[in-house]
Amino acid sequence: MSKTSLQLTLALLLTMVRLSAQQYLAAAEAQYGKGHYEAAEESLRRIDQDDWTAEVYLLHGNCLHKMDRLVEALNDYDRAKILGLNDETLYLSRGICKTSLGYLESARTDLAMALSFNRANALAYYWLAVVEYLSLDNRASIRYLDEAIYLNPSFAEAYYMRGANYAEMGKAYFALDDMRSALREMPEHHRARFQSAVLTMDLGGCEKALEIFDQLMLLETDFTSEILYYRGWCYYLMNDNTSACNDWMEAARMGDAYAEESHLKGCVSEGGKPRLKRMSYGRF
């Protein structure tokens, strides 16, 4: 084989490798778009490591992020940045990842950078609001959420997060209104429905709250013990101690320590009085 033929053969092989890498990347993008994150990550790992571009690292990081492998995801985002990626998507993804890891100052910088590329990015405003919420600055969080909702009036999670801020500030009516707005935009937002029940109870509407808790008990959620605990409080405030004690006992069996304490003090000990736990609203 002549030198020229050998060079052409090598060039063809390199082209085939590059095409193969592009095909795997395209397949991974399609799988990621359908929510098949493990399959997408597997497709990307079929690409030879020497052929990993900034775009491959970004998508791989996004897959790992969705799989809750946050530290590995952050490493991929950093690698994409080192390879020259400098855009809105990278800074937004890395900022969200850092927020989830608790690196709040660094996350704030990345999210601000995402906004520098696109001032109309409602998701960046939302995550900046999460950063401020976690930093215990409710007013700053609300300001960012106002922007997110202005840009996307159907943003259910932004309504929920703003409601959480208002609730922690003691503004129950504003909080309840936002929880209802979250439900209007996302009827399957069970947490917003639950929080609306708790807020309704706090505002003295135990009968209405009880209806909502009963509805929630018919749905598949991952916080049944919390529903039982607060429904027990509804019953207790309505002087139905038997139903309250039954709910607290059931929640205690599921491992709810506050329900166990309420059952002990309100149902077992003579002259005891249960203590209502402080609500935690944030979920990310």
Please tell me the distance from the alpha carbon of residue 178 to that of residue 252, in angstroms, as a whole number. 31
pLDDT higher than 60, residue 10: no
* CA-to-CA separations, 202 to 65, 138, 162, 195, 229, in angstroms, rounded: 37, 20, 18, 10, 14
pLDDT at position 103 is 98
Output the average pLDDT for the chain. 92
Give CA–CA dist 46/42, Å, rounded.
7
**Least confident span in 211-220, 236-245, 260-269:** 260-269
pLDDT at 246 over 60: yes
Share of the chain above pLDDT 70, in %: 89
pLDDT at 9: 57
Q: In this model, does residue 16 exceed pLDDT 60?
A: no
16 vs 192, which has greater pLDDT? 192
pLDDT score at 283: 60
Task: List helix spans (H) across the chain.
Answer: 3-33, 37-45, 54-66, 70-82, 88-101, 104-117, 122-134, 138-151, 156-168, 172-185, 190-202, 206-217, 224-237, 241-253, 257-263
Whether residue 27 is predicted with pLDDT greater than 80 in this model: the reply is: yes
Q: What pLDDT shows up at residue 268?
A: 85
pLDDT digits (tens, 9 = 90+) for 105-143: 999 999 999 999 999 999 999 999 999 999 999 999 999
- Over residues 188-233, the pLDDT tens digits come to 999 999 999 999 999 999 999 999 999 999 999 999 999 999 999 9
pLDDT at 15: 53
Please give the average per-residue pLDDT across 30-56, as a whole number: 95
Mean pLDDT, to the nearest integer, of 147-152?
A: 98
Higher model confidence: residue 111 or residue 21?
Answer: 111
Q: Summarize the confidence of residues 81-106 as an average pLDDT.
A: 98
Residue type at 119 in one-letter notation: R
| Span 9-33, average pLDDT | 74
- CB contact set of 10 (below 8 Å; sequence gap of 6+): none
* Mean pLDDT to the nearest integer, 31-57: 95
Given this model, what pLDDT does residue 6 score? 60
Average pLDDT over residues 162-175: 97
pLDDT number for residue 269: 77
